[in-house]
Amino acid sequence: MPEGDTVWNTARVLEKALTGETLTGSDFRLPRLATTDLTGWTVAESASRGKHLLLRLTKDGRPAHTLHSHLRMEGAWRSYAPGERWTGRPAHLIRVVLRTARSVAVGFHLHDVALLPTAGEDTLVGHLGPDLLGADWDPAEAVRRISAKPSASIAEALLDQRNLAGVGNLYKAETLFLRGLWPWTPVADVPDLTATVVLAQKLVANNRGRWTQTTTGSLFKGQTSYVYGRRAQPCRRCATAIRKAEQDERVTYWCPRCQPENRSDRGLAAG
């Protein structure tokens, strides 16, 4: 799933392929940027902010610019050697191609692609809460933002990128299972918000640098999650069938025994 760790890893792929290199060509297969030519611009930095990717570019003393993209559910960036076949995704999904003398970066099924002055990045990412994988990570600030809407469900609060940036459905479901929290629990009824956001950050950070996302510690197929993607399968702790339902236009997974409604004694340890 393209959550905070996946986006961070993708930024490292682009960093390795492009940072310090001058672009020898670009191809934007998007109507708004179709005539944009970044030839001659140098990639100064590849960064992530929550689920947002930011390629910062410089050229001849001009104001720096940022190429922004978002992966959402299906997006991906891949890097190839010059002349190498672009495998992995259908060609009709290509949205951006960036070329240098030693590599080609290809963006498939990207969303919210924009080119703007770096000084104006806040217009796209300034609303985000503390980044779980960023230097600005601050659990106290995340708790403050979440607490501002006490009637919201804790699942909704964790997914709100204005509260903390980088949690998606996978880490939401797994965090709530490990904390013993029913997904519809109002924020006001969560006994330890700080422990909840700290655990969410820990789960995301543990997968930084690898593509297999695991919350159980196992990297084997079918063993990487406690509840996410495991509808009707037995809970790894109590053997109760995992449930799945829609919540706020997203899906959620939970164990009805380990995460019962109105349970006051919550707080299972993250093993």
Instruction: Supply the residues annotated as catalytic.
Output: 2-3, 51, 250
Number of H helices, E strands in the chain: 6, 10
- Report yes or no: 9 and 51 within 8 Å, Cβ to Cβ: no
Residues 6+ positions from 59 with CB-CB distance below 8 Å: 40, 41, 42
- What is the distance between the alpha carbons of residues 180 and 264, in angstroms, rounded to a whole number? 10
- What is the distance between the alpha carbons of residues 130 and 166, in angstroms, rounded to a whole number? 9
252 strand-pairing partners: 245
- Could you give the angle at the alpha carbon of 205 between the alpha carbons of 199 and 207, nearest 5°? 115
Residues 6+ positions from 137 with CB-CB distance below 8 Å: 130, 131, 201
